[in-house]
Amino acid sequence: MTTGTQRPIGARLGTPADVAGPLDGFYAPGGAQSVPVAPRSTIDPLTESNSLDLIGILSAIEETAYIWDIVSDRIDWESNALQVLAVPAIDQISMGAGFQLHIAAEHLSRRTFAMFGQGAAVDAQRGIPYRVQYQFMPLGRRSNKSVWIEDHGRWWSDQQGRPARARGVIRIINERYWEEQRLLYRNDHDELTGQLNRIRLNEALGAVLVRAERTQQPSAFLIAAVNNLAVINESFGFDVGDEVISATARVIKEKLRGGDTVGRYSSNKFGIILNECGPGAMRIAAERFMKAVRDTSIRSSACQLSATLSIGGVVIPEQAGTIHQVVGHALQALDKAKYKRFDCFMAYEPSPLRETARQRNISIADDVISALDDNRMRLVLQPMVRAHDHTPAIFECLLRMEQPDGNLVSAGDFIAVAEQLGLSRLIDRRTLELAIGLLRANPSINLSLNISSLTSSDHQWMVALHRLTGGDRRLTERLTIEITETAAIHDLDQSIAFVDLLKELGCRVAIDDFGAGYTSFRNLKLLNVDMVKIDGAFVKDICRDTSDQVFIKTMVELAASFGLETVAEWVGDAETADLLTKAGITYLQGFHFGMPFEVSALGTTSYG
């Protein structure tokens, strides 16, 4: 071993013989050994690619290396140590005690714990790794000059398991490094809570799935939702709501076991990964989180607040084999927990019926998207006839989906699922295109068209209506737009604005399925609609049910007082048609006046 304390631990490497000695000497365990000193390279690295100056590389990236004989406390440094660490003399850091005098006092325990306090098992071959960052003061603690360094390497123990030797690399951490670390942290963590963001949470969940399938040791995944966040946001504002979310995340984090993970799944939901956790332990953990949050008084900028959790959990890989399944099943369990009561945990329970329904919904969604892409949506027509002479006044457009084999599927078989999955806007735009094309091709007919609740707030649908008609009132005045009663009252102000825009363009507006919801005639007046379509449930048994007769008569009289036309749906026979006509209904619609027919049959169909 060389006698100096500043020496080239990693000498210049040029030939294969040079490579074997220094690298083996630096990384291999055992006593400190002599490393042959090689002269610094004078070869221009831009012109000699086969020459590798290790000392020059370390200096360029502000790194140096050391070997620390912990028993004697002696440190042997790489020859660039003075240059990198900027200490006045190598003697000041040639001993461990002297080196510590250059470490900020508040960071001494951090370094000691990071290096020797982890309690890792002794690895006689590879050593025990460590990595720590601390503040280093080149001119001593009395000086104001300081830099941050990262110290990482491995240490080996003696026969009694006590630290005997360490070999490591020290690098200077500059502002660019800290900025990179901040960016990396922001990419991995939720800005509000400081926990993993959704992307990294899913990645961690994927790793747990792989490990659980390999080891056959169960793990668990919980989704915890803050129950009363909406009330807090409404009462105190979203800033206070954010404070509650952040505080809840801290409480959950504090109650995690070592190795478990929490991340923010969405606005008020947290995903919690529990390693090596079966069903019983999952329930115990969930109750621990709920109790901790419930018992915590949250100090917000507004006042003292409290929160509660609802939690759904799933065991993996037994109950779910993919990230999508894990999250989906946990959300299903969470929905059940929230339905039961606040502050409740529910474990996922497989349901063959629910799984069958889910697969059916997926199949329907695929069929709808495929039909839209392939232009396989079709319109059929059903007449609304004038009550006094049974002549057709308006044709309602009913949607059909043509399957690849040519069969037509009724809208009732797919529209409900499509609305749940957010596909109704796409369907409504396609239906509008077909209806306007039909109006252009048949100048003498009037059409009515149903739209979903989502479309009444879809600005793009209104833009499409104006674009397709070109503002031509000869088209729009022959088009009636039907809005369901429940959709109209869901957001009355929005519905009023939507109806006003339609009428400005020249369209008429009808309330469909009237009587199924809670719309008052005052709301009808505010909506300024032209027509009321009475729900068929009040029509189908009117000949036998006197209460339905009274309801229809009252509704017709009130509608007439507001200047509204009325339509009775589900008219199935002549007796019902006569009774409705005598009650004063304006239009009749139902199978008695014809089944829905294809557009090509216009002008050839007779009506009852």
pLDDT of 175 reads 67
Residue 183 lies in a domain: no
pLDDT tier for residue 186 given thresholds of 50, 70 and 90: low
CATH of the domain at 223: 3.30.70.270
The alpha carbon torsion through 133, 138, 142, 145 (nearest 10 deg) reads: -80
pLDDT of 28 reads 33
Residue ranges in 162-256 assigned as alpha helix (H): 175-188, 198-215, 229-236, 238-254
- Name the residue among 486, 409, 401 with its Cα closest to residue 452: 486
Query: How many Å apart are CA 91 and CA 495, to the nearest integer?
Result: 83
Q: Higher model confidence: residue 416 or residue 289?
A: 289
Is pLDDT at 32 greater than 50 in this prediction? no
**Same structural domain, 122 and 268:** no
Helix, strand, or coil (residue 343): coil
Domain hosting residue 467, numbered range: 360-599
What are the φ/ψ torsions at residue 554 (nearest 5 degrees)?
A: -65, -40
* pLDDT digit string, tens, across residues 73-91: 999 999 899 988 999 999 9
Contact 318, 347 (CB under 8 A): no
**Same structural domain, 266 and 308:** yes
CB contact set of 60 (below 8 Å; sequence gap of 6+): none
Is pLDDT at 199 greater than 60 in this prediction? yes
pLDDT of 438 reads 95
CB contact set of 211 (below 8 Å; sequence gap of 6+): 217, 219
Residue 125 lies in a domain: yes
Residue 362: which H helix or E strand, with range?
A: helix 352-373
**Same structural domain, 322 and 445:** no
Tokens found for residue 529: 């609609």
Report yes or no on whether pTM surpasses 0.85.
no
Q: Give the dihedral sign, CA 133/138/141/143.
A: negative
* pLDDT digit string, tens, across residues 484-530: 877 777 778 888 889 999 999 999 999 988 775 555 666 777 888 99
Contact 471, 505 (CB under 8 A): yes
**Same structural domain, 193 and 165:** no
Is pLDDT at 3 greater than 50 in this prediction? no
pLDDT tier for residue 7 given thresholds of 50, 70 and 90: low
**Same structural domain, 418 and 311:** no
Burial class (CB in 10 A: 0-12, 13-18, 19+), 527: buried
Q: Higher model confidence: residue 121 or residue 586?
A: 586
Residue 7 lies in a domain: no
* pLDDT digit string, tens, across residues 51-63: 566 676 666 668 8
Q: In what order do the strands lie in the sheet with 219-226?
A: 261-266, 269-274, 219-226, 309-316, 345-347
Is pLDDT at 158 greater than 90 in this prediction? no
Residue ranges in 28-139 assigned as alpha helix (H): 54-60, 81-85, 96-100, 108-116
**Same structural domain, 250 and 298:** yes
pLDDT of 12 reads 35
Q: What residue type is assigned to position 40 of the chain? A: R
Final residue belonging to a domain, choices 309, 329, 350: 350
Number of domains in the chain: 3
pLDDT of 6 reads 60
pLDDT of 123 reads 58
Is pLDDT at 14 greater than 50 in this prediction? no
Q: Rounded to an integer, what is the distance from CA 457 to the centroid of its chain?
A: 23
Final residue belonging to a domain, choices 114, 143, 173: 173
Ranges of beta strands (E only) in 12-138 are: 63-69, 74-77, 128-136
